[in-house]
Structure 1
Amino acid sequence: MQTAAATTKVVWTSGFATGRKQKPRLPPIRSSSSLLHPRRRVTVKNNDFENNNKSSSLSCMVATSALFRGRTMLSRANVGNHDSASDSATPLEGKALFDNVLPAVLVACIGSFLFGFHLGIVNPALNAISSSLDIATNAPLKSAIVSIILAFAAVGSLLTGPLADTLGRRSSLTFCAAPLLVGAAMCAQANSIGEMLVGRAISGLGVGIASNLVPLYVTEISPENFRGTLGSLVQLSICVGILVAVLLGIPYDPSFPALQESVSFLKFDFETWWRSMFYVAGMPALLMGFAGKVIPESPKWLRSRGRIEEAVKAENLLWGGSEISSTSDGTSRNDQSETLLKSENVTANWIEALFDPRYRKGVWTGALLFFAQQFAGINAVIYFSTPLFAAAGLRNAVLGSVAVSAVNICGTLVSTKVLDKSGRKPLLKKSFLGMGSCCIFLSLAALNPTLTISSYVSLFGTLLYIFAFGVGVGPIPGLLAGELNSERVRGKAMSFAFLSHWCFNFCIGQGFLPVVEKVGISLVWSFFAAVCFISSALTHKYIIETKGKSFSEIDKEMRVF
């Protein structure tokens, strides 16, 4: 008996990075359009292709797209008798998938780097700035240079949700580069306190947008198995930005003039070096503006807008194929997108996001996580770290700041390694417990400040507190704020969460020292310890685990939780 021979059809697949090996396991072919990559191919056996070949032409789409390789160039042939949605290649897996998504994540994290840089740039250079602007004796104006960025960051966070939902995540990232660049340039060229405050305010808008938008974009493009690791890179880039700003401020350390005299090539104009520091802030912003043009848009946002073909292209660029072809109940992603579009509004309004029973749990949980993060005392510990180091014999304030930043980075690096293994919930609980325990030691040391051992307990307690923060409480709230909310409210949920972050940050910054003067530092540390222990208990009871789960699975679990 003669049997029909199976015909081999060659399907070229695409990827955001090149040279990824595909596994031979493939889903059924769908054929309207497909991104193809000149360096990868997968063979698919299709017994029906021979019969269709006589009456139809093979469809193909050629794409050349990768980071920093310019615009995508497409050419498409007509489709014959194939009427299905689109060709679907097997998604990448493991390290190949991680490496493929990483370039887009790193481009987005430039915004987080600038977030940290702008927060840390003024502190070491504040005296030089105030002297140049003739406000050296005006304490309120000097304080305004520091605090105005926090106020306008809150405004930027509030604007981010509508901006990201309207323009898209990628376009909003590109837009975010503008205030970061313009604000840095205005600060660098400021000749009066008014010009400096305007520049800092514009920078604050950019910082607020970046603090919200970067984790939103990273959460949506990250594969579920790597969402924790890639999400923690956002916090890592903030820490690196702060550290770079501190290092650039070394010339303003009191010990630097002596070092400059001994090393001939170290030549700085102390009166104008702070302007160079602000110019440095403009270069990453410029890079983010250009690089943001070539990274893929969030497929989640594209599908929520009904732009299915563009979503498939973005999925191919990021993941080498569609993330999942269907949900656990057999509903295809395209069907899900069309169902979403049938609702009155693709994006929920603020009343729905904050009070609708379907969404309010995730939205308010994100804001409460940032309340716990800030009132656990992280910024107060950082603000008070300099006298603690001085009491322990470390008189160099810059070295103390470098130590805090370095330990924070070490903790965040640990988080990138374990977050997708241990899960968000257990790591967050342990992080709160570690911070609370450190606050207890700091409180006990403050009760007996004259003891020699107290200064060393305070020093190492502070560093261990920072490390515990970097491992969990630092990166996880921003990650969960995106994961716990559905696509319909995710933009506004992130805006609300980071608006809360900036408001609580401002409250701690303004109220810490006055409270310390009234009740004493020991009682304040005890309050922070209580917040940490209560937050750990509430995390255990009310926070769901999101490790390795798709957004649809998390959404279903949140609705019945």
Structure 2
Amino acid sequence: MSVVPEEQHVKRRAAPLFVVVTDGELKSLQEKGHTRNDLGWLPAFPHVLIASSSNFLFGYHIGVMNGPIVSIARELGFEGNSFIEGLVVSIFIAGAFIGSLSCGSLVDKFGCRRTFQVDTIPLILGAIVSAQAHSLDEMLFGRFLVGLGIGVNTVLVPIYISEVAPTKYRGSLGTICQIGTCLGIIVSLFLGIPSENDPHWWRTILYLASVPGFILTLGMQFAVDSPRWLCKAGRLEDAQKVIHDLWGPSHVDKAIEEFQSVIRSDGNDLESRWSELLEKPHSRVAFIGGALFVLQQFAGINGVLYFSSLTFQDVGITSGALASLYIGLTNFAGALCALYLMDKQGRKRLLVGSYFGMAISMLLVVYSITSPLDEELGHNLSILGTILYIFMFAIGAGPVTGLVIPEISSSRTRGKIMSFSFSVHWVCNFLVGLFFLELVEKLGIAPVYASFGAVSLLAAAFAYYFIVETKGRSLEEIETSLNSTSAANDK
């Protein structure tokens, strides 16, 4: 029980100076007062939206080569060479690997905002070099530069959003980057349609890829820096202003106190060492981050996306662009659902449910292929399983993986752990692309899809046992809790 003063509204009647309220009622009163000072999600939204334009570029560059690759091959002289065509499409993975590894050090030194602006240089130059390419070497160089920028961005965006977004809305705002990726894919597919009739249209759509880069450069000039990085850099007043403007005045003192407590615990030097990822508790988080991306990629999302066009052809949808558009819209719908559910259901539940749904979807596809069903029914079940798989991926395995890793990372090593985790992502992405078709040719599509389902079940179990729920908890609260758990386990 707690005692609080009562306001004396009626002067004619003598009122008691104090009333007794329960602890639950007191907590309710405190929460109402706190809510009045809570600015909600809107002040942080423009900054998150600007950062998520990087993911729009990521999605755009994923889809932009699908339609015009034949025209590019014909004009640059490698038509019919499937190896070179694959190299042009995928060389940006090599750049992305290097970019992701370098991002952690850049974020530690310069903060997210300046790193975003520096990163637009390879993104803009890569798009322009690719668009004006008159030789294979120029095209490969341009695609490599784009990959370099994409690699930095994929690490940078989740870190920035997790550190700028208010705790209550961090999950939903973190999902916007996934929506940005989906929109980028859809826009690139729409813009690529004229390439079927115009053999030179590919130059136009590659030039257009530079526009979001310029917008990102300008937008970041008006965006805020991470209050956590500002505090670590000794810019306390700037950190207080960001918290005041984005989270609300009632959050300033508590947030700064938490930031400084973590800095005292971790050390106040800006840049961490890579060797720290081998030390506890950072080694456990690095293991979880790398394992999540290994499981995500070997659960087969890129293989299913690649084979989906053939699946759609079986039911009469012969246009590759139209099939890709259906896939893009499904991905977008799933991301919207994740936006709504992330801060309601929590990361762990979405991740486990997503992978379990992906496993069921693969089982449905395998059943449609291997069972003696009516041909039309089999094709329809295969389409249903494919659509359901992509939708379930977009609800959890896609957005949650990139969001939860910075949430469970310490402030000191967040950049390095994200760099390591995404470098693992790009290596696995490359390996799946390299061996998928060969495995399909040797084993058949049913065993390969069955293996995707098995990995999805393994991923669901991994998430259930290794992922802690981060919904509604500040990054500092999560870090303190994990450090305490690690220390207790060492005893």
Q: TM-score, normalised by structure 1?
A: 0.78
Tell me which amino acid in the other structure corresponds to 1:283.
V
Alpha-carbon distance in structure 1 between the residues aligned to 2:36 and 2:109: 30
1:295 aligns with 2:223: yes
1:119 aligns with 2:42: no
1:529 is aligned to: 453
* Alpha-carbon spacing, 1:351–1:308, altered in 2? closer, same or farther (3 Å): same
Alpha-carbon distance in structure 1 between the residues aligned to 2:199 and 2:473: 53
1:474 is aligned to: 398
Pairs within 5 Å for 1:91-110: 96-110=39-53
Task: Kindly indicate whether the alpha-carbon contact (under 8 Å) linking 1:315 and 1:322 is maintained by their aligned counterparts in 2.
Answer: no
1:376 aligns with 2:299: yes
1:308 aligns with 2:244: no
* Alpha-carbon spacing, 1:424–1:450, altered in 2? closer, same or farther (3 Å): same
2:470 is aligned to: 546
1:413 aligns with 2:336: yes
Tell me which amino acid in the other structure corresponds to 2:347.
R
Given candidates 163, 168, 171, the residue that maps to 1:228 is 171
Q: TM-score, normalised by structure 2?
A: 0.89
Which sections of structure 2, spanning at least 5 residues, go unmatched? Answer: 1-28, 487-491
1:41-85, Cα deviation, whole Å (9 max, x unpaired): xxxxxxxxxxxxxxxxxxxxxxxxxxxxxxxxxxxxxxxxxxxxx
SS state at 2:460 partner: helix
Tell me which amino acid in the other structure corresponds to 1:321.
P
Moved over 6 A (4+): none
Pairs within 5 Å for 1:439-454: 439-448=362-371, 451-452=374-375, 453-454=377-378
Cα deviation for residue 450 of structure 1 reads 7.5
Alpha-carbon distance in structure 2 between the residues aligned to 1:345 and 1:176: 24
Tell me which amino acid in the other structure corresponds to 1:163.
L
Tell me which amino acid in the other structure corresponds to 1:247.
F
Alpha-carbon distance in structure 1 between the residues aligned to 2:421 and 2:262: 26
2:87 is aligned to: 144
2:205 is aligned to: 277
2:313 is aligned to: 390
2:261 is aligned to: 336
Tell me which amino acid in the other structure corresponds to 2:236.
I
Cα deviation for residue 139 of structure 1 reads 2.2
SS state at 1:369 partner: helix
Given candidates 244, 249, 252, the residue that maps to 2:195 is 252
Task: Kindly indicate whether the alpha-carbon contact (under 8 Å) linking 1:429 and 1:537 is maintained by their aligned counterparts in 2.
Answer: yes
Cα deviation for residue 246 of structure 1 reads 0.8
Task: Kindly indicate whether the alpha-carbon contact (under 8 Å) linking 2:109 and 2:270 is maintained by their aligned counterparts in 1.
Answer: no
Task: Kindly indicate whether the alpha-carbon contact (under 8 Å) linking 1:161 and 1:492 is maintained by their aligned counterparts in 2.
Answer: yes
Task: Kindly indicate whether the alpha-carbon contact (under 8 Å) linking 1:446 and 1:522 is maintained by their aligned counterparts in 2.
Answer: yes
Higher helix share: 2
2:271 is aligned to: 347
Task: Kindly indicate whether the alpha-carbon contact (under 8 Å) linking 2:343 and 2:471 is maintained by their aligned counterparts in 1.
Answer: yes
Alpha-carbon distance in structure 2 between the residues aligned to 1:434 and 1:339: 43
Alpha-carbon distance in structure 2 between the residues aligned to 1:151 and 1:235: 22
Alpha-carbon distance in structure 2 between the residues aligned to 1:131 and 1:527: 37
Which sections of structure 1, spanning at least 5 residues, go unmatched? Answer: 1-24, 27-89, 258-269
Tell me which amino acid in the other structure corresponds to 1:412.
A
1:379-402, Cα deviation, whole Å (9 max, x unpaired): 000000011001122112111100
Identity %: 36
Cα deviation for residue 467 of structure 1 reads 0.5
Task: Kindly indicate whether the alpha-carbon contact (under 8 Å) linking 1:306 and 1:338 is maintained by their aligned counterparts in 2.
Answer: no
1:506 is aligned to: 430
Alpha-carbon distance in structure 1 between the residues aligned to 2:334 and 2:480: 32
Alpha-carbon distance in structure 1 between the residues aligned to 2:149 and 2:102: 10
1:176 is aligned to: 119
1:242 aligns with 2:166: no
1:401 is aligned to: 324
- The structure that has the greater radius of gyration is 1
Cα deviation for residue 439 of structure 1 reads 0.5
* Alpha-carbon spacing, 1:148–1:271, altered in 2? closer, same or farther (3 Å): same
1:75 is aligned to: none
1:336-395, Cα deviation, whole Å (9 max, x unpaired): 266258x37443211112x11121122221111111111111100000001100112211
RMSD value, Cα: 2.0
Cα deviation for residue 449 of structure 1 reads 7.8
Cα deviation for residue 422 of structure 1 reads 0.5
Tell me which amino acid in the other structure corresponds to 1:316.
H
1:457 is aligned to: 381
2:253 is aligned to: 325
1:310-329, Cα deviation, whole Å (9 max, x unpaired): 211222232233635237xx
Tell me which amino acid in the other structure corresponds to 1:484.
I
Task: Kindly indicate whether the alpha-carbon contact (under 8 Å) linking 2:240 and 2:252 is maintained by their aligned counterparts in 1.
Answer: no
* Alpha-carbon spacing, 1:455–1:334, altered in 2? closer, same or farther (3 Å): closer
Task: Kindly indicate whether the alpha-carbon contact (under 8 Å) linking 1:312 and 1:322 is maintained by their aligned counterparts in 2.
Answer: no
Pairs within 5 Å for 1:75-94: none
1:493-524, Cα deviation, whole Å (9 max, x unpaired): 11011111111111111110001111111111
1:166-203, Cα deviation, whole Å (9 max, x unpaired): 11110001111111111001111111111111100001
Alpha-carbon distance in structure 2 between the residues aligned to 1:176 and 1:193: 24
Tell me which amino acid in the other structure corresponds to 1:201.
F
1:408-464, Cα deviation, whole Å (9 max, x unpaired): 000000000011000001111110010000001111222248741211111111011
* Alpha-carbon spacing, 1:304–1:115, altered in 2? closer, same or farther (3 Å): same
Cα deviation for residue 271 of structure 1 reads 2.1
SS state at 2:66 partner: helix
2:14 is aligned to: none
1:463-511, Cα deviation, whole Å (9 max, x unpaired): 1111001111110000011101011000001101111111111111111
Given candidates 87, 90, 103, the residue that maps to 1:160 is 103
Task: Kindly indicate whether the alpha-carbon contact (under 8 Å) linking 2:365 and 2:381 is maintained by their aligned counterparts in 1.
Answer: yes
Alpha-carbon distance in structure 2 between the residues aligned to 1:494 and 1:554: 17
Cα deviation for residue 155 of structure 1 reads 0.7
Alpha-carbon distance in structure 2 between the residues aligned to 1:428 and 1:169: 27
* Alpha-carbon spacing, 1:365–1:93, altered in 2? closer, same or farther (3 Å): farther
